[in-house]
Structure 1
């Protein structure tokens, strides 16, 4: 089944493209401020076409991978204690429980 690899590929593309876009120099003053998509939003977008149990399973896998990625970032940046918990929540973009 190709669905897990498609979700992973979409996540990797987002992780690769975001830093590249962040390095570009801004042109004239933008009229709107872009809002960065959180990993949670990315997971929701990649599972939007799925239904039922497949959607729940893929969303859980994607969110788990997002949390691991954010934990790795926190470790690399040497964030510890309560600050790490906040960092991971902000990084993942999780305001509440995951939708089912």
Structure 2
């Protein structure tokens, strides 16, 4: 029995997105920052999307990247809402959370 290609693609998207976000580290809970300690910079969600699509080619790669970035924006927006960030700071927060500057955003 053949499955419709849309179902197969949707299943693959769910697996890729779930694995990509399962690998993103969660922020530490109020760890005290020492002024002389170096703090590693976490990878942005954009970098995670790029790495999760590196084995794909052509339209499949573009489609997966768009889906991953849309999910990343949604996750960052939810985080901004939870933190009660509004207005221009919210826009800036979402951009920095996703890992895009103004020139890269679509």
TM-score bin (small chain): 0.7 to 0.9
Q: Which string of whole-angstrom CA distances, capped at 9 and with x for unpartnered residues, describes residues 48-92 of structure 1? A: 000000000000000000000000000000000000000000000
| Equivalent runs, 1:71-86 vs 2, <5 Å | 71-86=77-92
| C-alpha RMSD over aligned residues | 2.2
Separation (CA, whole Å) in 1 of partners of 2:66 and 2:26: 25
Question: Deviation of residue 97 (structure 1)?
Answer: 2.2
Deviations 1:19-64 (A, max 9, x none): 28x46x8xxxxx9753210000000000000000000000000000
Matched, 1:97 2:95: no
- Taking CA–CA contacts closer than 8 Å with sequence separation of 6 or more, which of the two structures ends up with the larger relative contact order? 1
For residues 33 and 76 of structure 1, what CA distance do their matches in structure 2 show? Answer: 24
Q: Which runs of 4+ in 1 moved over 4 A?
A: none
What is the TM-score normalised by the length of structure 1? 0.77
Which of 55, 65, 78 does residue 59 from structure 1 map onto?
Answer: 65
Unaligned runs of 5+ in 1: 26-30
